[in-house]
Structure 1
Amino acid sequence: MSVLKQWGKQVIGYPEVQVPVISTKDYVQRFAHNPAGKTKSYLFSLFPILGWITRYNLGWLTGDVIAGLTVGMVLVPQGMSYAQIASLPAEYGLYSSFVGVLIYCFFATSKDVSIGPVAVMSLTVSHVIAHVQDSHGDRWDGPQIATTLSFICGFIVLGVGLLRLGWLVEFIPAPAVSGFMTGSAISIAAGQVPALMGISGVNTRAETYRVIINTLKGLPRTKMDAAFGLPALVALYGIRMLCDHLTKRFPRRQRIFFFASVFRNAFVIIVLTIASWLYTRHRRSAAGKYPIKILQEVPSGFRHVKQPEIDPELLTALAGQLPIATIILLLEHIAISKSFGRLNGYKINPNQELIAIGVTNTIGSVFGAYPATGSFSRSALKSKSGVRTPAAGILTAVVVVVALYGLTDAFFWIPSAALSAVIIHAVADLVASPSQVFSYWRVSPLEFVIWLAAVLVTIFSSIENGIYVAVCASLALLLIRIAHPRGAFLGKVRVRLDNNKETRDVYVPLKTNGVNNEHLDILPPAPGVIVYRFEESYLYPNCSHLNSTLVDYVKENTRRGKDISTVKLADRQWNDPGPRRGQHDLAALNQSLPILHAVVMDFSSISQIDTTAIQSLIDARNEIERWTDGPVEFHFATILSPWIRRALVAGGFGVGTSERLHHEIAPVVPYRDGRSSDANYEETTDDLESGKDLKRVDSASSVPGHEPVLATETPFFHLDLHAAVRAAERSQAVVDSSS
């Protein structure tokens, strides 16, 4: 094996050393290879528990038991609290809690995520119920609407996961999710303040700013509920702050203080439930009312286990609300699972996670559960408790079942104000910190604007509009960045290596954001040679941008081949009048510029190319050659994909200069009158389609005595940028010497 060939394979891993061209047969074989094995692997991947359950041990069991019981103690009061947000009876929050943690462990690829009721999803369910009932009256009650929503959203997400479309979630960036979550948390907290203070007559489903204003106006109507709600909120924050302080002061006992902080929710609920029982048990009015609002009867057990009733007319009524509910299920869960995967050093499978929450919500509808997804607070608690496997969810489910069957009598006396305090305390952690928001500004000011817009729209309009604005703005920014990517015309800088004896050329932009790199001694390419690097895949949204950038630069910095000032006005094109006769200064300026001989394009950042882009590149070549009034060489460096090579050859590139200036690879109107076929072009296309093995050679970097690397028929494709520029400058020197 030659040294050059070995270098091409092992050092840079150039993919086209082994496959200089690629055919349709290669494309089909890539997907049709070993279908039985791929099917078996796919089915096995649907149940990740099979990969770790056989290795389960006592060491894992200890961590799972502690984490499972700890999360269960928090989940029970939170589940009932979030059911209040969803405008559902408290038991439905417990149903969702049980199904979420139990079913998820069989399909999970994350050990930390805890599935169940969450604040944002609960508020969305409340809005969906209100929307349907406002439109159709009381034809369907809240639980039926919520259960149907759970079934349909779960089925949709399950389909997305099974079809492996989880990559769609990647189109929504972190600042958009953070802005939506921050605005939602503020909305939820504002909506719970009236219940915390016992203020009646406030429409908590209105816009957040209206809720805040009406709550302030209603402060004189504060009732005895505030005596339970405010102390609960103060106690929750006080216990956490005290435990954090003691942890710093006594680091050896941080485990004790951690669990003391964890159980603050249960502790506050127990204390206030006892206080509520002592205060209200003898104060029931003749109308059956109590002096403060309490939870009252919570049915024990699973009273609503049945086949879900899917009413077609209800589906029609829910149709407009399904996108927002589905997006929330996707966003929250994937964001949480990825976050804890990064934190704890493992990788999650987004598609499998979608399958997990899809199955969870679909089966949950049988138990009467409403939509559930990953919880930020409980997942963090589960992680900090030392969870080892997803099996911890089984212990959490046991805690919920015990509460459903054994503690419902005690739930009767839980004050609603205390549950509101638990909600406010939980959602406050979802608000982005100032340092996090400032980091958005430092990294990308445009994404900070998206974050701010999501927050403001959520507060002044609705959660639905907030998330739609965040998603649409993010997609718009993505399209703008794709359509107007960065690119640069390059020069070279000569740097010394570590031994300070040898030097090498490094290619850097001549200008950065339109400003010259004055601190670098950049040598431009030889006169008549242009080097351009395009920093994005070359596709239909941005190909016109590259065309314009390249052609405009050529017209501004190189000489026009024909002195148009000597051409009669009647013979000039209508859209290219040129200088008028007698304008000798413009003619002299044109003569002082170099004649363009070669364009070198660095394709190292281009991983995809399409038909429209090839046509645009053909158009750019035609415009440039009309400007120079002669052929121009197009050299391509560092082509990473054989499919890009195939596309360029199909467009007539790589094989030399093209005399077919009017060739169209993608004609909108296939005008054929008087046009003869190009035998050479058809032969090249046939070679590509058949996968003909071309002889390998690199005109710029071949080494005497060694086997060539690249194809002889494509001498204008080069292994690296240095070889491409050297070939273009060498060709320019030959032309200059001959002239």
Structure 2
Amino acid sequence: MSSLPEKPACRTPSFLVLNSPDPPAPWHELTGSVKHSLLSHGKKLGSFSKCITLASYALFPVLQWGRNYDLKMFRSDLLAGLTLASLGIPQSIGYANLAKLDPQYGLYTSFVPPLIYAVMGTSRDIAIGPVAVVSLLISSMIQKVVDPSLDPISYRKMVFTATFFAGIFQASFGLFRLGFLVDFLSHAAIVGFMAGAAIVIGLQQLKGLLGINHFTNNTDVVSVIKAVWIAVHQPLHPGNFLIGCSFLIFILITRFLGRRNRKYFWLPAIAPLLSVILSTLLVFVTKGDKHGIKTIKHVQRGLNPSSAKQLQLSGPLTGASAKIGLISAAIALAEALAVGRSFATIKGYQLDGNKEMIAMGCMNIAGSLSSCYVATGSFSRTAVNFSAGCKTTVSNIVMAITVFIALQLLTKLLYYTPITILASIILSALPGLIDLREACNIWEVDKMDFLASAGAFFGVLFGSVEIGLSVAIIISFTRIILNLIWPRIEILGRIQGTDIFCSIRQYSVAVRTQGLLITRINSCFLCFMNANYIRERILSWVIEEKDAMENAKERTRSVIIDMTNVMNIDTTGLAAIEDIHKKLASLEIQLAIANPGWQVIHKMKKAKLVDRIGRSWIFLAVPQAVEACLALKRESGHLC
């Protein structure tokens, strides 16, 4: 076998590739991520006082926008905050009931977390407090470990502990820039999960709407329907159903009117609070609580009590609490970021995802120490906040102060509030969680995404919240793994008259260069999962073309692998490239590598693979590799 000549052409591009500095170590990248999270836009560190100042501005955005805050903005925020409170107070009480907690814990969660978020968050519009999906998630998972009806104290302790872990996870995601972990819950999975959860929540509200005493703790639709079927055959007071349905219709009508005319945005916002006031007066005047109408009864008065001593950070339930906290953290972040980004896009400003995670984490850690459960951004309340003309997060402060006043002065008035009205308020908020239009759009655009959405929906509906999430994540991971195992490998051709090389399958005008096989690996990681597939695919093309070409002058003399998309490589990937090189060399075919990534060329040099392939056969771009290979072909033809 004759030795292939070394081609010295294009030394400058090869020099650039081979003499690039070593990439940063993982530890340096991690510390850089932390510094970027704490310092605005990764500014350089100066004196200690400057470092503290930069970190303060990064952690507390209020220090930046607060300098330009004026009375006109405050008027807008005051109106928005009061409107927000009128919706948030009754919703908070209802969501506490959904979370199997006493009503005051919902109000606690609408007091401390919004105050923390107001000084740390980057969204101007998001409204913080308890939400339906997280309330369902908390109750459905914790009641499998501790029954709230038999041991309410242990149940509350586990709720606060799970909230503490949720805050720790959320803050860690932001501090170490691990937000991609939340992205494993894809948009399609969230759409399906929310829709399934909305139906489950709606069915569970039949307990309050019908005034049922005994109800199932299971969240699957079969168990809930069975419990309702048994209950309706028992003696029930029709007053509960009549009050609940009447005010549900009233709330839905006000929402319809508010959507028809934006001038009446305040009408659907105040409708829940008005419903609570009117239904409470009705029960008080008629003494309905003595005739079968179920009421809230006692609500504890006063500011959030400390719950620091109730956290169970050691013991047999710590692991379960951490697991529930992690799942709650992911769902809460996914909902909050989706809501925040939607309204930030409308107003035309940028939301900092990592700072949002840190803010959410800090507010939930503080909340766990002050008798709150997991809080996040609510879509319905954020929409009201936006419509009311909020300018900054001061609207959250106004809402929190209003909740504080309610905790101090109005809790005794809630004694006669019927539970059925809380069910009506929750039911009225559920249609916003079911997005049929988006589900149809997902089906049209990507069938695999729709499969993940449907998996989450039916998993929640017929299994449990955990099963729905697990199914969605498994489907999403399966898709990722399949794409990693069988990446697209394209044969490239040149667009005539240019130096542009693209897929001959996608672009019919792209023409292959005679004597060259130019391939591109469309995978960011050449690793043990796909290295063998890539090696066999490239070599099979070479062998097929060798057998098909009868004319020796037309046979493939060079193979170019475009590694533009390959960001990293492991030892199995290096071995695959070396196998390709050896096989091609035995066939007297030259291998050329174009545009290897930073980590790729670093590892190729460490493994001495660059020397075995030939330093002059590593190129910065495909056109330079093609030029060198054509020169080799002409030289080989001349030698023949």
Bin the TM-score by the shorter chain. Answer: 0.7 to 0.9
Equivalent of 1:151 in 151, 157, 164: 164
Match of 1:683 in 2: none
What is the SS of the residue equivalent to 2:498? strand
Deviates more, 1:336-345 or 1:266-275: 336-345
Deviations 1:576-607 (A, max 9, x none): xxxxxxxxxxxxx6745743311112233333
Q: Which piece of structure 1 moves more, 648-657 or 455-464?
A: 648-657
Matching residue of 2:126: 113
Aligned equivalents of 2:158, 2:28: Cα separation in 1: 48
Q: Give me the whole-angstrom Cα distance separating, in 1, the residues matched to 2:543 and 2:26.
A: 40
Correspondence for 2:240: 225
Aligned to 1:265: 272
Q: Deviations over 1:283-326 (max 9, x none)?
A: 62xxxxx4211112212212633543234334356355343333
Aligned to 1:729: 630
Q: Distance in 1 between matches of 2:44 and 2:177?
A: 19
Pick aligned residue for 2:591 from 634, 640, 651 = 634
C-alpha RMSD over aligned residues: 3.1
Q: How does 1:403-418 map to 2 (within 5 A)?
A: 403-418=406-421
The amino acid across from 1:476 in the alignment is T
1:621 is the counterpart of 2:581: yes
| TM-score, structure 2 normalization | 0.87
The match for 1:381 is 384
Please tell me whether the aligned partners of residues 304 and 368 of structure 1 are also in contact (alpha carbons under 8 angstroms). Answer: yes
> Structure 2: 5+ residue runs without aligned partners?
1-11, 33-42
Q: How far 1:656 sits from its partner (Å)?
A: 8.1
| Corresponding residue number in structure 2 for 1:421 | 424
CA contact (8 A) 2:206 2:423 kept: yes
Kept in 1, the 8 Å contact 2:160–2:307? The answer is no
Which residue identity does 2:448 align to in structure 1?
Answer: L
2:252 alignment partner AA: Y
Q: Alignment partner for residue 513 of structure 2, among 516, 522, 525?
A: 525
Identity %: 26
* Of 720, 723, 730, the match for 2:621: 720
Does the 8 A contact of 1:634 with 1:653 survive in 2? no
Rounded to whole Å, the distance in 2 between the matches of 1:21 and 1:450 is 42
Letter in 2 for 1:304: P
CA distance 1:508–1:165, shift in 2 (3 Å): closer
> Which residue matches 1:310?
311
1:279 matched residue in structure 2: 286
| 1:21 and 2:20 aligned | yes
The one of 451, 466, 469 aligned to 1:467:
469
Following superposition, the deviation at residue 69 of structure 1 comes to: 1.3
Measure the CA separation in 2 of the matches of 1:68 and 1:332: 21
Instruction: State the AA in 2 paired with 1:302.
Output: L
Does structure 1 residue 348 correspond to structure 2 residue 351? yes
Does residue 608 of structure 1 match 2:568? yes
SS at match of 2:519: strand
* Bigger helix fraction: 2
| Post-superposition offset of 1:413 | 1.7
Change in CA separation of 1:317 and 1:555 when aligned onto 2, cut-off 3 Å:
closer
Q: Determine the structure 2 residue equivalent to 1:551.
A: 539
Q: 2:530 aligns with which of 538, 542, 557?
A: 542
* d(CA) in 2 for partners of 1:738, 1:19: 30
- Cα separation, partners in 2 of 1:328 and 1:172, compared to 1, 3 Å: closer
User: Displacement, 1:486?
Assistant: 1.6
2:60 corresponds, among 47, 50, 53, to 47
Q: Is the 8 A contact 1:180 1:451 kept in 2?
A: yes
Give ranges in structure 1 of 5+ residues lacking alignment: 1-8, 248-253, 285-289, 495-502, 560-588, 659-713
Aligned partners of 2:607, 2:270: CA distance in 1, in Å? 68
1:486 to 474, 485, 488: 488
Change (3 A) 1:530 1:51: same
Once residues 719 and 137 of structure 1 are traced to their aligned partners in structure 2, the CA distance between those partners, rounded to angstroms, is 69
- 1:18 offset after TM fit, Å? 10
State the alpha-carbon separation in 1 of the partners of residues 530 and 522 from structure 2. 11
Q: Which has the higher contact order (CA 8 A, sep 6+)?
A: 2
Q: 1:25 to 1:552 in 2, by over 3 A?
A: closer
Match of 1:179 in 2: 192
CA distance in 2, matches of 1:368, 1:444: 43
* 2:117 matched residue in structure 1: 104
Q: Deviations over 1:464-496 (max 9, x none)?
A: 1111222232222222222222221012232xx
SS where residue 412 of structure 1 aligns?
helix
Q: Post-superposition shift, 1:456?
A: 0.4
Q: 2:173 & 2:487 partners in 1: Cα distance?
A: 30
Aligned to 2:498: 504
Name the SS for the 1:601 alignment partner: strand
Partner of 1:371: 374
C-alpha contact 1:483 1:542 (8 A) present in aligned 2: yes
SS at match of 2:574: helix
Residues 85 and 403, structure 2, Cα contact 8 Å, conserved in 1: yes
- Counterpart in 1 of 2:220? 207
1:552 and 1:68 map into 2 onto residues whose CA distance is 67
User: In the aligned structure 2, how far is the partner of 1:346 from the partner of 1:547?
Assistant: 46
Deviation (angstroms), 1:504: 2.5
Q: How many angstroms does 1:237 deviate by?
A: 1.3
CA separation in 2, counterparts of 1:137 and 1:77?
A: 27
Contact 1:133 1:140 (C-alpha < 8 Å) held by counterparts: no
Aligned-partner residue type, residue 558 of structure 1: K
Q: Which amino acid letter does the alignment assign opposite residue 112 of structure 2?
A: V
Aligned partner of 1:452 in structure 2 is 454
Counterparts of 1:132 and 1:645, CA distance in 2: 52
Distance 1:638 1:321, change over 3 A: closer
Deviates more, 1:15-24 or 1:423-432: 15-24
Q: Answer yes or no: is the 8 Å Cα contact 2:162–2:324 preserved in 1.
A: no
2:259 counterpart of 1:244: yes
Q: Choose 218-227 or 414-423, whichever is displaced more.
A: 218-227
| Cα displacement string for residues 248-276 of structure 1 (whole angstroms, at most 9, x for unaligned residues) | xxxxxx32x11223222222222222222
User: Which residue number in structure 1 is paired with residue 40 of structure 2?
Assistant: none
Q: Distance in 1 between matches of 2:212 and 2:148?
A: 28
Query: Residue 169 of structure 2 contacts residue 326 of structure 2 at CA under 8 Å; is this kept in 1?
Result: no
- More divergent stretch after superposition (443-452 vs 263-272): 263-272
The Cα of 1:103 is off from its aligned counterpart by: 1.4
CA distance in 1 between counterparts of 2:323 and 2:601 reads 46
SS state at 2:111 partner: helix
* Distance (Å, rounded) in 2 between the aligned partners of 1:299 and 1:509: 68
Question: Quick one: structure 1 residues 717 and 317, their matched pair in 2 at CA, closer, same or farther if it must change by over 3 Å?
Answer: closer
Give distance in 2, aligned partners of 1:735 and 1:436.
Answer: 59
3-state secondary structure, aligned to 2:97: helix
Q: After the TM superposition, which residues 694-713 of structure 1 pair with which residues of structure 2 at under 5 Å, given as runs?
A: none
User: For the residues of structure 2 that align with 1:73 and 1:134, how far apart are their CA atoms?
Assistant: 32
> 1:599 maps to what in 2?
559
Distance 2:600 2:100 in 1: 56
Offset, 1:27: 9.7
Q: In the alignment, is the contact (CA less than 8 A) between 1:92 and 1:369 conserved in 2?
A: yes
Aligned length, in residue pairs: 609
Q: Which structure would you say has the larger Rg?
A: 1
Contact between 1:67 and 1:385, CA under 8 Å: does it hold in 2?
Answer: yes
Deviations 1:80-131 (A, max 9, x none): 0001101111111101111121111121111122221111111122224422
SS of 2:568's partner is coil
SS for the counterpart of 1:133 is coil
1:191 correspondence with 2:204: yes
Inter-partner Cα distance in structure 2 for 1:466 and 1:734: 63
Q: Does 1:92 align with 2:92?
A: no
TM-score by length of 1: 0.76
Contact 1:189 1:428 in 2 (8 A): no
Counterpart in the other structure of 2:39: none
